[in-house]
């Protein structure tokens, strides 16, 4: 159910979203979920390509990434469309763009122009390689950032080429860091009174989550390799076969491993020199996984889960959408929220996270069904355009 009231922490913040596809719009989604008014500027007649992305005949990705947003249309390649953006930023706190570096400047919408209009404006720029450096002008998508940031090299089985996740993690990470930067810039503006530029690069956002990969190589000469379903040296932590499926167990800390041994009826393993501590278990990772798998495959998933809960061992089922929809914990925390769409009927999507106790976020409105459906409201009421000007802009193709 849609929230009837905006209780989000950013309810007094206005965002202009110029980006398309995933990285820019996901940043806008996050800010919108937290209460910001997000005005999405789309190319007239075309709209954001995300409107047509997703699996199956009914394209539902847009319903998530476009939620909590208003849609206006403007042709940014034309002078009138560029002027509309300049007029919008005079009333905005944040502008998001994820075009190829230099594009905004080519359109007369660079930071120098926009911040001259509104010195308090925070400009969030998401790109493949960042706004500076020798690669800045290169085109970059999420997968390229994942490769350059080190992610792709370590994902997959060691005897096969690098794999990828089933979601656009590079774009989502860059968008998340862009959102974090915007929030930090809002806080800094409280003291300085001025906006700033947030430069979020896809490859750097991936690099940020690569743990100690670089210093391990520099200090110890260790190059991380693809290791399939396990992390090398972290044991036991794997997916194990049961009589009716697969189950994930993570018991790589000494005390937790001892509890797992008790659950298996093999308490002696916890004091065996081969498995008694973290380093020893890492050296004997494969044989330890075989021991655990020999036990789990004799039991159902429900039986293994009951034993893990009883002995307080971190473990869990491998969830798909159908398990999420049927899970009482998802329901209790409203991790999935039901919406009613005029086009698609009733369906559920992920809620807004993290949960805030004092200023709860949430889904207040569905993704705009039509490109530019809020033109009259935004351009007429916010920018003060009269009917004649709106008609002229429509006739010229600017909106």
Active site members: 171
Helices (H) and strands (E) in the chain, counts: 17, 11
Q: Which helix (H) or strand (E) holds 147?
A: helix 142-148
Burial of 117 (0-12, 13-18, 19+ CB in 10 A): middle
57 DSSP 8-state letter: S
Show the tokens assigned to 328: 């009482």
CA–CA gap between residue 58 and residue 86 (Å, rounded): 36
Residue found under tokens 């009138």: 80
Show the tokens assigned to 244: 């009716």
Question: Angle at CA 57, nearest 5°, toward 55 and 62?
Answer: 60
**Residue 143 burial (CB count, 10 A):** 17
Side-chain-side CA neighbours of residue 68 (13 Å): 33
Sequence-separated (6 or more) residues with CB below 8 Å from residue 8? 33, 34, 35, 36, 359, 360, 361, 362
DSSP strands (E only) in 177-231: 197-201
CA–CA gap between residue 130 and residue 86 (Å, rounded): 23
DSSP readout, 12-53?
A: T-EEEE---TTHHHHHHHHHHHTT-EEEEEE-TTT--GGGG-
Q: Beta partners for 41? A: 72
Show the tokens assigned to 337: 């929220």
CA–CA gap between residue 40 and residue 87 (Å, rounded): 14
Q: Tell me the backbone φ, ψ of residue 318, rounded to 5 degrees.
A: -90, 105
Q: Beta partners for 304? A: none
């Amino acid at each position: 159910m849609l929230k009837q009231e905006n209780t989000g922490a950013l309810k007094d913040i206005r965002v202009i979203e110029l980006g398309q596809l995933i990285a820019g719009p996901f940043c806008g989604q996050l800010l919108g979920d937290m209460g910001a008014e997000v005005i999405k500027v789309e190319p007239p007649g075309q709209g954001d390509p995300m409107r047509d992305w997703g699996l199956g005949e009914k394209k539902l990705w847009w319903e998530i990434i476009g939620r909590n947003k208003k849609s206006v249309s403007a042709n940014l390649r034309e002078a009138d469309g560029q002027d509309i953006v300049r007029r919008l930023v005079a009333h905005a706190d944040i502008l998001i763009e994820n075009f190829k570096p230099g594009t905004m400047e080519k359109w007369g919408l660079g930071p120098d122009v926009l911040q001259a209009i509104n010195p308090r404006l925070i400009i969030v720029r998401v790109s493949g390689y960042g706004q500076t450096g020798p690669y800045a002008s290169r085109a970059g998508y999420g997968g390229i950032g994942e490769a350059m940031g080190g992610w792709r090299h370590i994902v997959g089985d060691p005897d096969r080429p690098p794999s990828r996740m089933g979601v656009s993690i590079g774009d989502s990470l860059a968008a998340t860091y862009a959102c974090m930067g915007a929030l930090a810039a809002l806080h800094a503006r409280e003291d300085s009174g001025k906006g700033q530029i947030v430069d979020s690069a896809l490859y750097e956002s991936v690099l940020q989550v690569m743990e100690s990969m670089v210093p391990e190589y520099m200090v110890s000469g260790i190059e991380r390799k693809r290791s399939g379903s396990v992390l090398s040296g972290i044991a036991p932590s794997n997916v194990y076969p049961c009589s009716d499926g697969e189950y994930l167990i993570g018991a790589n800390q000494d005390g937790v491993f001892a509890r797992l041994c008790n659950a298996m009826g093999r308490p002696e393993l916890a004091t065996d020199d081969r498995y008694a501590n973290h380093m020893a278990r890492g050296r004997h990772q494969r044989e330890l996984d075989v021991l655990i798998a020999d036990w789990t495959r004799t039991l159902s998933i429900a039986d293994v889960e009951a034993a893990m809960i009883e002995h307080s061992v971190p473990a869990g089922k491998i969830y798909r959408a159908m398990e999420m929809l049927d899970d009482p914990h998802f329901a209790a925390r409203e991790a999935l929220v039901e919406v009613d769409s005029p086009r698609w009927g009733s369906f559920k999507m992920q809620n807004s996270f993290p949960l805030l106790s004092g200023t709860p976020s949430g889904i207040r409105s569905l993704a705009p069904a039509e490109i530019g459906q809020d033109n009259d409201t935004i351009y007429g009421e916010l920018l003060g355009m009269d009917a004649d000007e709106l008609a002229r802009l429509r006739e010229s193709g600017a909106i």
